[in-house]
């Protein structure tokens, strides 16, 4: 809690800002209490917010400077000479840090940061072309030298140029900066750009009837509409939303870009998980702002699908690295889970909007699960290390990185953490909603009455919450206090996960010391009364350790349980368990003990898993804190009985890949195919490695075909220097007899025939090229 003393209340705070332009008459029926009207002072979140404000904001800006991202604007403005450096979507990273910096300015005044933003915004404004277009790569390259992804001319390759994605983030940054500072400098840049788009795209403008490849502009345009009241921005957002999947307007790009069928017909979440989450958020915004009931029905169906079939226990989404995408229904692997940090952000953005639309706390249950677990694991406690994927099990080699070539995740962390302060409270007419539990003070207006709400809690370490209500005068209104799903025996609002420990903890609610019967509506305890200064509401959410199991259709979690306490998903990390957790099995019969550990991470609650029969004891920490003590084995799910043996093994396999992939029958298009599963020995380089395949019964193979993984030009995997095949003879491995050539051709199967041999297993041994790693896309064996 060492940062808490630096926290200052400022004149800027606690001023409810009119975020809605008078012209905006229709919006979400529930309105969030904006970040400008909420002051957070919380044992759990304040250190995170302060690290983000004082460290990550500056760290991300420094990285943007060092990697040429900011100079691209200065160069495009003609302020300094030079070519574009990096990838054309790098502009968006700078906008996202500005957005985070703007929210941070609302947390505490910071003249240095304010000045830095002014200088940076001046460069961005100068980089904008006279008609409003803004995409530094195009300003800096002659058409013949443009990176292929950008297309030779403006908007000529919307599938991958990210031109509209970039400016979507510009609009979000501009609105945040305007709301936090009252300055229109970036807002004017954004509006000028949006006006150009409105002249270029839209009904009747025939030549450009295709949607952007990566969604984001829909959200940005809706935010811009709210602060400016310009109807054309909303119309354009709706235009983009409705273009997706329309075969009569463009050649469809398929599920990865949610461009496989019109939004009105979509009912399963597919494709790139970040794109999908941004898309559904944009759809929710457009639905709220237009009242389009068919759009609402569409996102309701998509939400049901994700929540019942595609959601990790941590709130993460996006099961597979192939296409950074959703998997099939119930396909939720743990070790290879992709769960991009940005996808957790997208899922949170979407669920916040679903709540504002429907007023049901079930969406906040998903939101809370996501922010405390799948999102927060994305950033290390230092604020300078980040996960891209967030798997639910890991060998001891996976760790956070200081930055990425594609840096979407670090800059999503920096903007989303402080944005959360605007998610704690909401209002509808004379009703207030307490959505999240965090020590904080908020100014809201209920009906005609100004009310201050003060919340004190040690959440998520205990479930005692005190709310002090201070209306400016005696008034009747309703306080809706969320009773989290986890406290109502429902970890998620679907049958995807359930508690199976038979506990029935009892929630208690007091007003001014008097017990109040819980009257629950859509997951909220409703308290309607005449309120006066000093009224106190006390909520007691019991926090026993809970045992969770997954729906039987989730094969990966069969015969396993996970552990939760309050909103936190726990995990076992090597650091607390003699280095090893993946091979440990606590068994089916366990009990739990909690321990307050003030010495660990500034104070946490750990959970001990104590087997009641034969089994391994484990010490657990919150999953969001793993890998803050160096790389470590980690697991969220624990076995109740031994795993059935698998018919394969390898000397080593990268944690994001799987040995099983060699045998899954998916055919690659070429050796660099990223769309099919694979196994690699990454990042072992120049070593001797092997893969083994066992047969259920003695068999007589004579043919082996292997398709090597080789990502020359992109990564560090190559075909091996040499290799050979061995068969199992009793306990020994012996080379097969009479083999044909051991080929190392790319983009094809390398077939070897050999003298048939009766055996129970084959081993493929490789010698990797010096300084390179390698891998296998597919391996087939036949008689
Ligand atoms: Zn990302």
DSSP 367-405: HHHIIIIIIGGGB-TTSS-B-SS--SEE-TT---BS--S
Give the largest CA-CA distance in the chain: 94
The residues with which 116 forms a beta bridge, in sequence order, are: none
Average pLDDT over residues 555-571: 97
Using an 8 Å Cβ cutoff, are 638 and 561 in contact? yes
What pLDDT shows up at residue 4?
A: 39
Closest of 729, 711, 721 to residue 673, by C-alpha? 711
Question: 614: CA distance to ligand 1 center in Å?
Answer: 42
- Contacts for 2-8 with beta carbons within 8 Å, 24 or more apart? 2/47, 2/602, 3/46, 3/47, 3/50, 3/51, 3/54, 4/41, 4/43, 4/46, 4/47, 4/50, 6/50, 6/54, 7/41, 7/46, 7/50, 7/108, 8/108, 8/109
Spell out the SS3 assignment of 202-271.
Answer: CCCCHHHCCCCCCCCHHHHHHHHHHHHCCHHHHHHHHHHHHHCCCCCCCCCCEHHHCECCCHHHCCCCCC
Question: 663: CA distance to ligand 1 center in Å?
Answer: 30
Question: 65: CA distance to ligand 1 center in Å?
Answer: 19
pTM of the model as a whole = 0.89
239-283 tens-digit pLDDT: 999 999 999 999 999 999 999 999 999 999 999 999 999 999 999
What pLDDT shows up at residue 537?
A: 98
| Catalytic residue chosen out of the listed positions 64, 408, 571, 624 | 408
Residues in the chain: 783
Question: 21: CA distance to ligand 1 center in Å?
Answer: 32
Question: 33: CA distance to ligand 1 center in Å?
Answer: 27
* E strand or H helix that includes residue 609: strand 604-611
Check residue 517 and report its DSSP letter. -
Question: 470: CA distance to ligand 1 center in Å?
Answer: 41
Tokens of 12: 């800027």
Question: 146: CA distance to ligand 1 center in Å?
Answer: 24
For the cut 90, the answer to whether the pLDDT of residue 219 exceeds it is: yes
Q: Is 544 helix (H, G, I), strand (E, B) or coil?
A: coil
Q: Could you give phi then psi for residue 660, rounded to 5 degrees?
A: -50, -35
CA dihedral 487→493→497→502, nearest 10 degrees, is: 40
Residue 115's alpha-carbon distances to 15, 56, 102, 183, in angstroms, are: 22, 17, 12, 12
What pLDDT shows up at residue 697?
A: 85
Closest of 222, 338, 389, 346 to residue 289, by C-alpha? 222
Tokens of 148: 């292929």
What pLDDT shows up at residue 3?
A: 40
12-37 tens-digit pLDDT: 444 444 456 778 889 999 999 999 99
- The DSSP secondary structure of 168-192, one letter per residue, reads HHHHHHHHHHHHHH---HHHHHHHH
What pLDDT shows up at residue 170?
A: 98
Residue with tokens 């694979």: 678
Tokens of 22: 């008078």
Residue 681 CA to residue 246 CA, distance in Å, equals 42
For the cut 90, the answer to whether the pLDDT of residue 51 exceeds it is: yes
- The DSSP secondary structure of 403-439, one letter per residue, reads --SS-HHHHHHHHHHHHGGGGSEEEETTEEEE-S--S
Chain centroid to CA 577: 28
Residue 232 CA to residue 288 CA, distance in Å, equals 16
Average pLDDT, the chain: 95
166-211 tens-digit pLDDT: 999 999 999 999 999 999 999 999 999 999 999 999 988 877 889 9
| Catalytic residue chosen out of the listed positions 324, 556, 573, 692 | 324
Check residue 52 and report its DSSP letter. I
What pLDDT shows up at residue 20?
A: 64
Average pLDDT over residues 668-682: 92
Q: Is the peptide bond before 57 cis (omega within 30 degrees of 0)?
A: no
Tokens of 332: 């939720």
Average pLDDT over residues 537-561: 97
What pLDDT shows up at residue 574?
A: 97
For the cut 50, the answer to whether the pLDDT of residue 1 exceeds it is: no
Residue 768 CA to residue 771 CA, distance in Å, equals 8
Average pLDDT over residues 285-300: 98
Question: 568: CA distance to ligand 1 center in Å?
Answer: 23
Count of CB atoms situated within 10 Å of the CB of 203: 11
Residue 133 CA to residue 195 CA, distance in Å, equals 10
CA dihedral 563→564→569→571, nearest 10 degrees, is: -30
Q: Is 452 helix (H, G, I), strand (E, B) or coil?
A: strand
Using an 8 Å Cβ cutoff, are 34 and 15 in contact? no
Check residue 641 and report its DSSP letter. S
Residue with tokens 């604007």: 73
Question: 87: CA distance to ligand 1 center in Å?
Answer: 15
Q: Could you give phi then psi for residue 170, rounded to 5 degrees?
A: -60, -45
* E strand or H helix that includes residue 564: strand 560-565
Tokens of 558: 């069969």
Residue 344 CA to residue 314 CA, distance in Å, equals 9
Question: 605: CA distance to ligand 1 center in Å?
Answer: 29
Residue 783 CA to residue 778 CA, distance in Å, equals 17
Using an 8 Å Cβ cutoff, are 734 and 782 in contact? no
Question: 481: CA distance to ligand 1 center in Å?
Answer: 33
CA dihedral 29→35→41→42, nearest 10 degrees, is: 60
Could you confirm whether 304 is annotated as catalytic? no
Q: Could you give phi then psi for residue 109, rounded to 5 degrees?
A: -65, 145
Residue 115 CA to residue 761 CA, distance in Å, equals 67
For the cut 50, the answer to whether the pLDDT of residue 366 exceeds it is: yes
Question: 404: CA distance to ligand 1 center in Å?
Answer: 9
297-347 tens-digit pLDDT: 999 999 999 999 999 999 999 999 989 999 999 999 999 999 999 999 999
What pLDDT shows up at residue 15?
A: 40
For the cut 70, the answer to whether the pLDDT of residue 142 exceeds it is: yes
Residue 565 CA to residue 557 CA, distance in Å, equals 19
Question: 339: CA distance to ligand 1 center in Å?
Answer: 9
Question: 387: CA distance to ligand 1 center in Å?
Answer: 9
Question: 754: CA distance to ligand 1 center in Å?
Answer: 47
Dihedral (CA of 429, 431, 434, 440) sign: positive
Taking the alpha carbons at both ends of the chain, their separation in whole angstroms is 65
What percent of the chain is predicted at pLDDT more than 70?
A: 97
Lowest mean pLDDT, pick from 18-27, 277-286, 583-592, 770-779: 18-27
Residue with tokens 């903890």: 505
Question: 340: CA distance to ligand 1 center in Å?
Answer: 6
Q: Could you give phi then psi for residue 782, rounded to 5 degrees?
A: -145, 165
Question: 341: CA distance to ligand 1 center in Å?
Answer: 6
For the cut 90, the answer to whether the pLDDT of residue 666 exceeds it is: no
Closest of 211, 215, 268 to residue 244, by C-alpha? 211
Could you confirm whether 624 is annotated as catalytic? no
Question: 278: CA distance to ligand 1 center in Å?
Answer: 12
Q: Could you give phi then psi for residue 478, rounded to 5 degrees?
A: -110, 130
What pLDDT shows up at residue 656?
A: 81
Q: What is the side-by-side order of every strand in the sheet holding 759-767?
A: 648-650, 688-699, 759-767, 722-729, 732-735
The CA-CA-CA angle for residues 73, 79, 82, to 5°, reads: 70
Using an 8 Å Cβ cutoff, are 316 and 339 in contact? yes
Using an 8 Å Cβ cutoff, are 189 and 239 in contact? no
Q: Is 670 helix (H, G, I), strand (E, B) or coil?
A: coil
Question: 654: CA distance to ligand 1 center in Å?
Answer: 20
Question: 388: CA distance to ligand 1 center in Å?
Answer: 6
Closest of 172, 139, 155 to residue 73, by C-alpha? 139
Tokens of 78: 């003609």
Question: 386: CA distance to ligand 1 center in Å?
Answer: 10
Task: Note residues around ion ligand 1 (Cβ under 5 angstroms).
Answer: 340, 342, 408-409
164-173 tens-digit pLDDT: 999 999 999 9
Closest of 31, 37, 47 to residue 17, by C-alpha? 37
Chain centroid to CA 739: 48
Lowest mean pLDDT, pick from 101-115, 307-321, 464-478, 665-679: 665-679
Check residue 556 and report its DSSP letter. G
For the chain, state the CA radius of gyration.
Answer: 27
What pLDDT shows up at residue 675?
A: 83
């Amino acid at each position: 809690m060492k940062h808490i003393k630096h926290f200052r209340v400022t004149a800027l705070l606690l001023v409810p800002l009119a975020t809605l332009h008078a012209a905006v008459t229709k919006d979400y029926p529930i309105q969030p209490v904006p970040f400008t009207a909420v002051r957070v002072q919380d044992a759990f979140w304040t250190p995170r917010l302060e690290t983000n404000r004082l460290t990550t904001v500056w760290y991300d800006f420094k990285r943007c400077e060092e990697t040429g991202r900011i100079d691209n604007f200065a160069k495009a403005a003609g302020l300094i000479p030079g070519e574009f450096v990096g990838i054309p979507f790098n502009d968006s990273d700078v906008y996202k840090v500005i957005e985070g910096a703007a929210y941070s300015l609302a947390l505490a005044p910071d003249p240095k940061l304010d000045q830095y933003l002014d200088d940076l915004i001046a460069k961005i404004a100068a980089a904008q072309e006279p008609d409003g277009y803004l995409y530094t790569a195009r300003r800096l390259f002659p058409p013949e030298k443009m990176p292929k992804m950008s297309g030779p001319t403006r908007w000529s390759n919307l599938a991958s140029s990210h031109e509209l994605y970039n400016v979507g983030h510009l609009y979000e940054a501009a609105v945040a900066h305007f709301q936090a500072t009252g300055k229109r400098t970036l807002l004017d840049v954004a509006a000028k750009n949006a006006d150009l788009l409105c002249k270029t795209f839209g009904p009747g403008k025939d030549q450009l009837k295709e949607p952007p490849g990566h969604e984001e502009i829909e959200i940005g345009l809706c935010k811009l509409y709210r602060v400016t009241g310009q109807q054309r921005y909303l119309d354009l957002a709706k235009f983009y939303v409705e273009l997706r999947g329309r075969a009569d307007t463009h050649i469809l790009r398929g599920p990865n870009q949610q461009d496989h069928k019109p939004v009105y017909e979509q009912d399963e979440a597919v494709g790139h998980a970040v794109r999908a989450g941004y898309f559904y958020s944009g759809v929710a915004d457009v639905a709220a702002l237009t009242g389009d009931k068919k759009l609402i029905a569409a996102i309701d169906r998509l939400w049901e699908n994700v929540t019942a079939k595609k959601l990790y226990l941590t709130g993460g989404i996006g099961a597979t690295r192939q296409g950074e995408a959703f998997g099939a229904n119930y396909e939720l692997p743990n070790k290879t889970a992709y769960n991009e940090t940005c996808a957790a952000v997208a899922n949170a953005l979407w669920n916040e909007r679903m709540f504002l639309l429907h007023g049901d706390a079930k969406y906040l249950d998903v939101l809370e699960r996501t922010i405390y677990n799948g999102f927060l694991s994305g950033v290390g406690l230092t604020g300078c290390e980040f996960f891209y994927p967030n798997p639910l099990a890991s060998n001891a080699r996976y760790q956070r990185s200081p930055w990425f070539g594609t840096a979407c995740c670090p800059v999503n962390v920096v903007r989303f953490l402080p944005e959360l302060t605007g998610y704690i409270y909401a209002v509808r007419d004379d009703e207030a909603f307490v959505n999240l539990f965090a020590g904080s003070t908020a100014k809201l207006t209920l009906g005609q009455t100004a009310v201050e709400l003060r919340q004190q809690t040690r959440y998520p370490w205990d479930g005692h919450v005190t709310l002090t209500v201070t209306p400016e005068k005696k008034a009747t209104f309703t306080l809706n206090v969320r009773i989290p799903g986890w406290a109502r025996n429902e970890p998620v609002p679907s049958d995807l996960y359930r508690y199976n420990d038979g506990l029935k903890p009892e929630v208690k609610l007091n007003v001014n010391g008097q017990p109040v019967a819980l009257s629950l509506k859509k997951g909220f305890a409703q308290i309607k009364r005449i309120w006066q200064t000093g009224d106190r509401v006390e909520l007691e959410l019991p926090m026993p350790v809970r045992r969770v199991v997954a729906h039987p259709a989730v094969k990966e979690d069969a015969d396993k349980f996970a552990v939760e306490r309050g909103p936190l998903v726990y995990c076992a990390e090597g650091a607390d368990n003699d280095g090893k957790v993946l091979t440990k099995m606590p068994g089916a019969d366990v009990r739990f003990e909690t321990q307050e550990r003030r010495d660990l991470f500034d104070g946490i609650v750990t959970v001990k898993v104590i087997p009641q029969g034969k089994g391994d004891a484990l010490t657990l920490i919150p999953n969001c804190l793993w890998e803050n003590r160096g790389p470590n084995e980690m697991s969220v799910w624990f076995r109740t009985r031994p795993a059935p043996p698998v018919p394969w093994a390898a000397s080593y396999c990268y944690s994001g890949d799987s040995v099983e992939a060699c045998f899954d029958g998916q055919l690659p298009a070429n050796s660099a195919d990223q769309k099919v599963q694979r196994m690699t020995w990454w990042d072992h380089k120049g070593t001797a490695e092997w893969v083994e395949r066992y047969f259920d019964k003695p068999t007589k193979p004579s043919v082996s075909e292997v398709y090597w993984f080789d990502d020359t030009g992109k990564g560090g995997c190559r075909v091996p220097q040499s290799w050979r095949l061995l068969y199992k003879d009793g306990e020994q491995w012996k080379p097969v007899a009479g083999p044909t050539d051991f080929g190392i051709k790319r983009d094809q199967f390398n077939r070897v025939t050999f003298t048939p041999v009766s055996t129970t297993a084959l081993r493929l041994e490789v010698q990797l090229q010096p300084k390179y790693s390698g891998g296998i896309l597919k391996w087939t064996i036949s008689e």
